[in-house]
Amino acid sequence: MKRQVKRLQRGDTIGIIAPASPPNEKFLNKSLEFLQELGLDYRFGDSLLNVDGYLAGTDDERLNDLHQMFAAPDIAGIFCACGGYGTARYADRIDFDLIAQNPKVFWGYSDITYLHTAIGKYADIMTFHGPMLASDVGKGTFQEKSAEMFQQLFAPSILHYDDTFGPIQTFMPGQCQGELTGGNLSLLASSIGTPFELETFGKILMIEDIDEEPYRVDGMLNQLRLAGKLQGLAGIIIGDFSHAEPKRKESQTLDEVFGHYFDDLHVPIVKDVKIGHCQPHFAVPLGAHAFLDADERTFSIQPGVR
């Protein structure tokens, strides 16, 4: 398992950065009220509101924000404002020793998956896959169940998912345990063949995505299969795949695609879990130990903070 990070406390200051695309300022500003409700102060990264086409500033500016927030002793944690695109562009220049020596809460999802994978691999700390400030928290669709997930940052607590949080279905029966890994499927696939590719052997793989038709999901899973990333898995948690409907009549369903790649693995699998681009959004610590019971349609995860 990865190393836990220090818990947050009321009065702490968190750093807000945009490691990929620029955030919607209206939604970002609205989300700051939620941080105040949590008892947190905040500081913007220098390039947070910069715009360089589809990027929140240049690669150097976004990387500098990441480094500065991890290095700053008065910053207790880092929340990402949004995802979009761009974290992989500077992954090979991240100072992982700096992060390893200054472990702290790091929270986000979607394109942030590339940073989760890289930081977990080279800094050996747990990071948090959860709703982001401008993308989720500041919108009117943000739900109380999602808000409650931030409480895991303030005290070590075992997370438990069952159908009281949201839908969960058995895809393949059985029970397993192992380190939780994964995130956004397109980012996981794009890491294959790089120094930042996902390590999956003996682990529970979590996948989610948005706006991807079944044939696109097929291609990404095939990439993982050919790279050997589906072999030796302990289990799989299939999160939310919103807006995945095919645009053509001649198409396999998403379940048929999953079946093609997962049926022969003979490992416990659940699907329709409310993780990812959805509300409510169940936030999880990546790199933590998890137990999956596909028969009972539930899973639990050990704390990500100490």
**Active site residues per annotation:** 110, 208, 277
- Strand order in 41-44's β-sheet? 41-44, 13-17, 77-80, 105-108, 127-129, 284-286
Q: Determine how many CB atoms are found less than 10 A away from the CB of residue 8.
A: 23
Pick from 62, 69, 110: nearest CA to 89: 62
Burial bucket for residue 245 (CB in 10 Å: 0-12, 13-18, 19+): exposed
Show the tokens assigned to 269: 């699998």
Cα 4 to Cα 204: distance, rounded to the nearest angstrom: 18
Secondary structure letter of residue 24 according to DSSP: P
Secondary element (H or E) of residue 198: none
Question: Is residue 71 within 8 Å of 15, Cβ to Cβ?
Answer: no
Measured CA distances, 239 to 27, 120, 161, 198, 210 (Å) = 25, 20, 12, 17, 10
